Structure 1
């Protein structure tokens, strides 16, 4: 596993003899050069396949470093690439293999690529039973989630499907690998931040809503036993900005107020 300096973006290498299958490809040119240096120059390996959990630039930088590799992506990959806040055209590669669901045998492992839209509409989750490992991509961000341009209900459903794999280890799109409790922690965070925002939208004067949302503490959203990392804190702040600018949970608040009135 490689965790880059840019966004703590994660790349995982499955090695079969002298050939490599990559899951995701880091988030900057510098990190991508490091990835190629370690795998190809130092270890003498050849990357044959590069699969993406989703087509956002902070997971794609290394794709152009391995022109000999086939790139795999979901058929909605362009939708995700074009919908992100800061697409990096230089990282884009047209996929060689486009699909919905697929299983690949790589050495002693079977990797099951399962379409699981949540954070983006092209998201894959990857189940590796032989390694007791599941890949969540950006459906989680450590013990939290990232809400920008996503449907929170779809995200919760995606995390629930990953839980059904029953694996004890989970790789996120950022930070690294976690034990399975990270999925419950992410769902807890998602529900708690929704509750806070719905309450603020329902009870506060309109002029105070943005300020009150900006003051929601991550400690009031995560599980009690979770000590947020600096990265999780940073992206919690990004969530608060997105909630205000994109009116996230406004529909939930409206539906809640309608039920109370009824």
Structure 2
């Protein structure tokens, strides 16, 4: 696990497992955590740094979405108030491999906007369904940052079982905040341009798949061969994590016939 100081009272942790991200906001001796990494080992290292080395007590732990690779540390902070969107069970059960051992019922759930004052910061929790129904973003204007969970994965997106249009709309809502730093669910922090890059990737992947489905020739094989570079925004060089999740996207597109409806609607418009 690695960690860095974004502001004197804001720390970011990135675990080894899935490069999952947690963000800590400090108020004196107390800490508020957004997400808690992807494995117990990573979460234990986070606790050693935050609670042992820095001598902070985690009082609140909120989830941007309730999937196992972001909630591993919930069991390690029994004194913390745990928060999640009311659709947290839907998100947990929608995973390909839910890990019951990492599951902990949140103490408080909500389904609308919520604002929490923590030290000098005002954190605004806003529902932002996209990759999952329970997704939310945490907007922190005083730190010029927003935590967005898995509605972006670096400069791309991961489709999983979601509606791509919902993911796109979720990213657009975050864009409207105008924050300079975007903290994703994986890899770490990015400049605001990452949101534009993620939308570009999603749009190009959609356009490419629609074109291949229209040809109706060896569709699955050609989808599987789509290079990530053809979907990335100009000047964006993919990192290994993005390459891996692009590969998984192609598997999802084939297995779940993603963009098939878009292709059918496009064909009907042409024929009209």
Question: Same-fold call, TM > 0.5?
Answer: yes
Q: Unpaired segments of 5 or more residues in structure 2?
A: 1-11
Question: Aligned runs of 1:119-138 on 2, under 5 Å?
Answer: 119-138=131-150
Output the CA distance in 2 between the equivalents of 1:232 and 1:168. 21
Output the CA distance in 1 between the equivalents of 2:45 and 2:228. 33
Question: Aligned runs of 1:156-167 on 2, under 5 Å?
Answer: 156-167=168-179
> Which residue of the other structure, out of 115, 124, 128, is the alignment partner of 1:103?
115
2:58 alignment partner, SS class: strand
1:58 alignment partner, SS class: helix
Output the CA distance in 2 between the equivalents of 1:117 and 1:249. 19
Match of 2:180 in 1: 168
Deviations 1:231-255 (A, max 9, x none): 0000000000010111111110111
Deviations 1:31-50 (A, max 9, x none): 01101111112111110000
Match of 1:12 in 2: 23
Q: Does 1:225 align with 2:239?
A: no
How many residues align? The count is: 260
Match of 1:113 in 2: 125
Match of 1:30 in 2: 41
1:64 alignment partner, SS class: helix
Deviations 1:61-118 (A, max 9, x none): 0111101101100000000000110111111111111012200000000000000100
> Which residue of the other structure, out of 244, 259, 262, is the alignment partner of 2:269?
259
* TM-score, structure 2 as length reference: 0.95
> Which residue of the other structure, out of 227, 238, 244, is the alignment partner of 1:234?
244
Moved over 2 A (4+): none
Match of 1:75 in 2: 86
Match of 2:71 in 1: 60
Q: Unpaired segments of 5 or more residues in structure 1?
A: none
Q: Does 1:40 align with 2:57?
A: no
Output the CA distance in 2 between the equivalents of 1:231 and 1:142. 8
- CA deviation after TM superposition for structure 1 residue 187, in Å: 0.3
1:7 alignment partner, SS class: helix
Q: Does 1:192 align with 2:204?
A: yes
Deviations 1:125-164 (A, max 9, x none): 1110000001111000010000010011111110000011
Match of 2:4 in 1: none
Q: Does 1:151 align with 2:163?
A: yes
- CA deviation after TM superposition for structure 1 residue 209, in Å: 1.0
- CA deviation after TM superposition for structure 1 residue 204, in Å: 2.6
Output the CA distance in 2 between the equivalents of 1:175 and 1:164. 23
